[in-house]
Structure 1
Amino acid sequence: MATGRNPLTRPVRTDGAKVLSFLLIGVLVLLTCAADQLADLYPLPLFPASVRVFPAPQSIDTVGTAVSLRGRVVIDRGPETDSAALEIVRQTVAKAGGTLESDHAAGSGLTRVFMGTPEDNPRIKTALVAMGMDGSEALGKPEGYVLAAGLNGRQQAVVLAGHDQDGVYYAAQTLRQVAEDSGEVHVVIKDWPLMSIRGVVEGFYGFPWTHQARLDQLEFYGRQKLNTYMFSPKDDPLLREEWRQQYTARQLEELSEVVRTATRNHVRFVYALSPGMDICYSNKADLDTALDKLQTLYQLGVKTFVIALDDIDLSLTCPEDREGNVEGERGVAAAQASFLNRINRQFVRENPDVSALAMVPTKYYGTEKDPYKEELGAKLDADVLVQWTGPDIVSRAITSGSAEAATSVYGSPDQPRRIFLWDNYPVNDFAPDRLYLGPAVARDPHLHDVVAGITANPMVQAYASMPALASFADYMWNGPGSDREDSLNAAFEWIAGPDADVQAGVKAFADLNTSWDIDELSVKSPLLKADMEEFWRSYEAGTVNDSALERRAAMISSLPEVLSRVSVQGFYHDALNWIESAASYGEAVQDAITILAAAKKGDESAVAAARSGLDAARERASQATQQAFDHPDVKPRVGDGMFEAFLERAIRESDHALGH
């Protein structure tokens, strides 16, 4: 600037760049004013952040303007709208800080939530048209739903529309996730399940789940959009050894509560009777006893039944069966088919509200043809479903090809049998010293094209099974779109609760219990392994100070206190023995690091003191016991042997450093 020149009187050049800059400024001012006006009418962010939804929906898009549930809210519902879905919406609004008002409320700043099926609530169609939404694909599929946020005229609106009341319920569950953090809805979701049977079979050997655990599981299944719970604990005597005995009044009362809880959470309670240990298939008295048992459960509200003939001798034990059937496996299959057909024709088909009968065959795995499977397929009524565990009893991998082969094996190439999976993951009755906290793996993403669905067999520990089951739920709903690792982590966060330290503790503990014995490809404790490998690289380079392993070991040693604060307390109690064992190993690793540092300095007294602590911690780790049904003293296994290997190497390295 020249001396003595007044900038306020300097002439201004009106070239193109200057004109463009002034125009841009003007546009920004107008946009700011418009945004201010919109904010007065709709005080919401224009471009909200994305959300996580589990199971993964078929399609999800964000919308430009979020709809708030934090203010005045009216629920516009059809007369048949599901009561459980309605309660979820009310809870979601309350958690967001909103106020529910009467149906006739009016005025600015009001959000209207449309709920129900289009047939039951015709205003849903009008609202979707006003939003420019076409939800016909999702609303044309069983259990499908549309969740849409937008403007219905000038009014904020959220639509929760279902193909049926199951769909309405799932739309409400998705709303809970979408609005959980912000109290706002800024998505359009069109969604439906790819498998019609999505669930859990309580089918393990060992202590059956407690009554409360079952109730809590069913609430969890509703959250995860699982729709089936199969009641088949192997060590429940009234299902197997004493199957002829009827339930007491108290037992029926408990079962009735479980059935009601299942129904409220849109879960089918499936009763699996297992009479095969001593049944006479040809005996009318045994048939009548089985029918009476099923009728008792039917009167409680059970509408789906399975006859489980697994884990029994492949032979006919009573004279009537031997007289009426050929010897060998074909005779067994024919006798079973005759019994099942009579159950199907005299009970299932006679009650139109009862779902198709299912059965678990005695040879329930594999894809090879054999006399038993051929005879069963030929003689069993075509509408009876068969449950199959995959290529093996506990199958590492299940492909669409193997499942398709099974449909022919239990039926024929011309008339394949409808099957669904009894998937033996994450069940641990064959390894009671283990917890399996990893995701479902090696299941073909397109398996839904072949099988009707899956019931996953969980661990004896009901609450510790939840993460793996959440991962399965994601896969069952939408195999091609699922991220089973992500859904697993979301379940860990839900179990932990909002505390970041507890979340980190749950994930550190889960890392110690990730691998699956059946899958040699599964990674063993990957986070612990990485920190140990980095520690040894640093040690060999001459330093062991402030290592990630030392921090992880400190965290692991604090797990009993940290995990006692999880939101889902059942998880803590299920895993307590493993938690305590891990904590002791964490202390031992800290002592081992101290030993190594002291040994490098030649401080034998410090080494001896730390070695004493290490030995005591390692002894405590091996003393934690877990009671199993037929093993009163099982030592929990954590860390996949890495703790033990690290401690042994640390002792060798320290001895070497000291010249021993």
Structure 2
Amino acid sequence: MVPELGIIEGFYGPMWSWAERRELMTRLQPHGYRFYWYAPKADRYLRRQWQLPHPPAQARDLADFARWCSDQGIAFGVGLSPFEVFNRFDGDARTALAAKLAFFESIGVSRLAVLFDDMQADTPDLALKQGEIMAWIQANTAISRFAVCPSYYSDDPVLDRVFGQRPQAYLEALGKALDPEVDVFWTGPEVCSKELSPGHLHRVGAALGRKPLLWDNYPVNDGDRMSRHLHLRGFTGRPAANAGLISGHAINPALQPTLSAIPAMTLADCYRLGPDYCYTQAFVTAAQEVLGSELANQLHGDLLSLEDAGLHRLSADRKATLHERYQASHHPAAREIVRWLEGAYQVTDEMVQTQ
């Protein structure tokens, strides 16, 4: 059994082009990827300045991509982060939300995610207020498929340290406050979980009163530390038995769209093959499909440098050797590696704090 698979473009840092989004989904759709959530942190009209309308050119691009997804049979969703709206859900907030919902409807959004992640959340009755906001949204739009990202979307205590102590029984309260048909994103025991076990998903599902929708933070590589590494290897720690315990599996991709396709393909194999899945062989097969045999073999041989060592631990000589090696190829994945070696994908703390 393979769950519904898709992309949640929810990373910090430089944004992709629309052509890159189309290319990624064209590669992944044959592997079972059926939905795409557009929610980059750098789109300020969805987050820090969500009350403002998208400029006309950006609105047209969004509408064009929504139409393209519809033509391809891909469900297109948008992730709206109404920044700290739960602290003042007043008339002005409702007016701004109504305008944003009307815009989403006009461009063909079929799924809407309301993302309460990565913002200060030490608010009394947090879950009840978020449930109230979602109920209002559902009553004021023709969009019929919804998801929520909780303020505390993982068991990871780092969220409490950064955004305030989570309320007691927050997940249980949120589950009761939400319509049963609303999906709830969950990243697992950690923000970037090494393993997602059936036992963990059983517990979270019981707390929420519904199967969680996985927001899988692999192969994402945003942030100051992670952006120094390329996440390329096949998925591990996602047993096929999870399929019946989740409402879907969305992966947050890496900053490099072409390279992201490689691990994404292995996730489909992980579910499809079950106990016969081999993550190393799945990587090789996916890399050959995306890159061709020669470049795939080259990438396989350089995994220790690109994924494990990372930019900060590469010597100047090793970095120069890799740069020359991949500069010789015109493949878009090779160009992504060259740009990464040149520091073009470095995500700073300032980006994370201001996007």
Under a length normalisation based on structure 1, what TM-score does the superposition of the two structures give?
0.47
CA, structure 1 residues 562+626, in 2 after alignment: closer, same or farther (shift >3 Å)? closer
From 100, 103, 108, give the equivalent of 1:301: 108
| Equivalent residue number for residue 194 of structure 1 | 2
Shift of 1:424: 0.7
User: How far apart, in 2, do the equivalents of 1:341 and 1:516 lie?
Assistant: 47
| Equivalent residue number for residue 153 of structure 2 | 364
CA, structure 1 residues 480+300, in 2 after alignment: closer, same or farther (shift >3 Å)? farther
Shift of 1:563: 6.2
User: How far apart, in 2, do the equivalents of 1:346 and 1:359 lie?
Assistant: 16
Shift of 1:463: 1.7
CA, structure 1 residues 560+247, in 2 after alignment: closer, same or farther (shift >3 Å)? same
Aligned AA for 1:343?
I
| Equivalent residue number for residue 353 of structure 2 | none
| Equivalent residue number for residue 37 of structure 2 | 230
Shift of 1:575: 0.7
Residue 432, structure 1, aligned to residue 235, structure 2: no
User: How far apart, in 2, do the equivalents of 1:245 and 1:476 lie?
Assistant: 41
CA, structure 1 residues 482+253, in 2 after alignment: closer, same or farther (shift >3 Å)? farther
From 239, 250, 261, give the equivalent of 1:455: 250
* Secondary structure, aligned partner of 1:238: helix
* Secondary structure, aligned partner of 1:407: helix
> Are 2:183 and 2:213, in contact at CA under 8 Å, matched by a contact in 1?
yes
> Are 2:147 and 2:183, in contact at CA under 8 Å, matched by a contact in 1?
yes
CA, structure 1 residues 288+477, in 2 after alignment: closer, same or farther (shift >3 Å)? farther
| Equivalent residue number for residue 250 of structure 1 | 57
Shift of 1:440: 0.8
| Equivalent residue number for residue 180 of structure 2 | 382
User: Can you list the C-alpha shifts for 1:277-306, whole angstroms capped at 9, x where unaligned?
Assistant: 355553133123223212212221211111
From 338, 341, 351, give the equivalent of 1:576: 338
Instruction: Report how many residues are paired.
Output: 332
Aligned AA for 2:53?
Q
Shift of 1:308: 0.4
> Are 2:2 and 2:268, in contact at CA under 8 Å, matched by a contact in 1?
no
Residue 333, structure 1, aligned to residue 127, structure 2: yes
CA, structure 1 residues 508+264, in 2 after alignment: closer, same or farther (shift >3 Å)? farther
Q: CA RMSD in A?
A: 2.8
Kindly, what percent of the aligned residue pairs are identical? 22
CA, structure 1 residues 488+298, in 2 after alignment: closer, same or farther (shift >3 Å)? farther
Larger helix percent? 2
Shift of 1:490: 2.1
From 434, 445, 454, give the equivalent of 2:240: 445
User: How far apart, in 2, do the equivalents of 1:375 and 1:516 lie?
Assistant: 42
Aligned AA for 2:153?
Y
> Are 1:240 and 1:275, in contact at CA under 8 Å, matched by a contact in 2?
yes
| Equivalent residue number for residue 188 of structure 1 | none
| Equivalent residue number for residue 406 of structure 1 | 204
User: How far apart, in 2, do the equivalents of 1:232 and 1:464 lie?
Assistant: 19
User: How far apart, in 2, do the equivalents of 1:561 and 1:356 lie?
Assistant: 46
| Equivalent residue number for residue 90 of structure 1 | none
> Are 1:194 and 1:478, in contact at CA under 8 Å, matched by a contact in 2?
no
Decide which structure has the larger Cα Rg and report it.
Answer: 1
User: How far apart, in 1, do the equivalents of 2:297 and 2:128 lie?
Assistant: 55
User: How far apart, in 2, do the equivalents of 1:376 and 1:559 lie?
Assistant: 49
Higher relative contact order (CA closer than 8 Å, sequence separation 6+): 2
CA, structure 1 residues 625+206, in 2 after alignment: closer, same or farther (shift >3 Å)? closer
| Equivalent residue number for residue 86 of structure 1 | none
> Are 1:433 and 1:626, in contact at CA under 8 Å, matched by a contact in 2?
no
CA, structure 1 residues 571+296, in 2 after alignment: closer, same or farther (shift >3 Å)? same
User: How far apart, in 2, do the equivalents of 1:333 and 1:243 lie?
Assistant: 21
Aligned AA for 1:506?
L
* Secondary structure, aligned partner of 1:464: helix
> Are 1:199 and 1:454, in contact at CA under 8 Å, matched by a contact in 2?
yes
Counterparts of 1:57-456 in structure 2, within 5 Å, are 194-195=2-3, 197-278=4-85, 280=87, 282-316=89-123, 328=124, 331-347=125-141, 351=142, 354-366=143-155, 370-410=168-208, 416-430=209-223, 431-456=226-251
CA, structure 1 residues 502+194, in 2 after alignment: closer, same or farther (shift >3 Å)? closer
Residue 630, structure 1, aligned to residue 348, structure 2: yes
Aligned AA for 1:428?
N
User: How far apart, in 1, do the equivalents of 2:326 and 2:96 lie?
Assistant: 51
| Equivalent residue number for residue 565 of structure 1 | 329
CA, structure 1 residues 627+421, in 2 after alignment: closer, same or farther (shift >3 Å)? closer
Aligned AA for 2:239?
D
Aligned AA for 2:335?
H
CA, structure 1 residues 371+361, in 2 after alignment: closer, same or farther (shift >3 Å)? same
CA, structure 1 residues 221+261, in 2 after alignment: closer, same or farther (shift >3 Å)? farther
Shift of 1:227: 0.7
CA, structure 1 residues 503+396, in 2 after alignment: closer, same or farther (shift >3 Å)? closer
User: How far apart, in 2, do the equivalents of 1:493 and 1:287 lie?
Assistant: 50
User: How far apart, in 2, do the equivalents of 1:558 and 1:285 lie?
Assistant: 53
User: Can you list the C-alpha shifts for 1:208-261, whole angstroms capped at 9, x where unaligned?
Assistant: 212221121221222322011111111210110010111222112111221122
Shift of 1:428: 1.0
> Are 2:86 and 2:133, in contact at CA under 8 Å, matched by a contact in 1?
no
* Secondary structure, aligned partner of 1:262: helix
Listed as ranges, the gaps of 5+ residues in structure 2 are: 157-165, 311-316, 351-355
Counterparts of 1:456-605 in structure 2, within 5 Å, are 456-476=251-271, 479-480=274-275, 482-497=277-292, 500-515=293-308, 557=321, 560-561=324-325, 564-565=328-329, 569-577=331-339
CA, structure 1 residues 301+483, in 2 after alignment: closer, same or farther (shift >3 Å)? farther
User: How far apart, in 2, do the equivalents of 1:515 and 1:625 lie?
Assistant: 17
| Equivalent residue number for residue 159 of structure 2 | none
User: How far apart, in 1, do the equivalents of 2:70 and 2:41 lie?
Assistant: 24
Aligned AA for 2:332?
G
Shift of 1:361: 0.5
User: How far apart, in 2, do the equivalents of 1:503 and 1:448 lie?
Assistant: 29
Under a length normalisation based on structure 2, what TM-score does the superposition of the two structures give?
0.84
Shift of 1:265: 3.0
